[in-house]
Amino acid sequence: MTTELSQRSAREVLDDHLNIANEWVGAPSLDELLAEDLRRNVAEDIVILMNRGTFRGYDGVRELALALADELPDHEAFEYTYVAAEGNVGLLEWSYQDSKVQVRDGVDSYVIENGKIVAQTIHYTVEGR
């Protein structure tokens, strides 16, 4: 991977973000992982759109990460079923399953500039098992 974070391709940023996201399996605290992801991969003025509203900046990312951790209580690994990047745009399709819930329709899109995610859309539905 390119050592200068701002010189990374969209795919390199996306891969780094996704690898950090799956380190939450068995992690005692999500705070350190989230801090590392924010530092490496997320612009301070990021805008995230989803059906729950518009979320801005690191505070918005933290709010959504905590909500996701609550909704997916066993903190199992995500399955990335499709990952693509072209130019500064990325797309992720994902699923998740644990003993209590599942997500079959996760889709995130990303805009990446200067080695950081500057915009993201998120969609998923949590279903009981």
Q: Say how far apart CA 121 and CA 110 lie, in whole Å.
A: 7
Contact 9, 16 (CB under 8 A): no
- pLDDT at position 2 is 47
Percent of the chain whose predicted confidence (pLDDT) is above 90: 84
- pLDDT at position 73 is 83
The residue among 53, 69, 19 whose CA lies nearest residue 121 is 53
Q: Say how far apart CA 123 and CA 75 lie, in whole Å.
A: 18
Q: Say how far apart CA 17 and CA 36 lie, in whole Å.
A: 9
Exposed/middle/buried for residue 61 (C-beta within 10 Å: 0-12, 13-18, 19+): buried
Residue 62 sits at φ, ψ, to 5 deg, of -60, -45
pLDDT-derived band of residue 19, with 50, 70 and 90 as boundaries?
very high
Q: Say how far apart CA 66 and CA 37 lie, in whole Å.
A: 14
Residue type, 29: S
Max alpha carbon distance in the chain (Å)?
A: 43
User: Whole-model pTM?
Assistant: 0.92
Domains and CATH numbers, the chain: 5-128 (3.10.450.50)
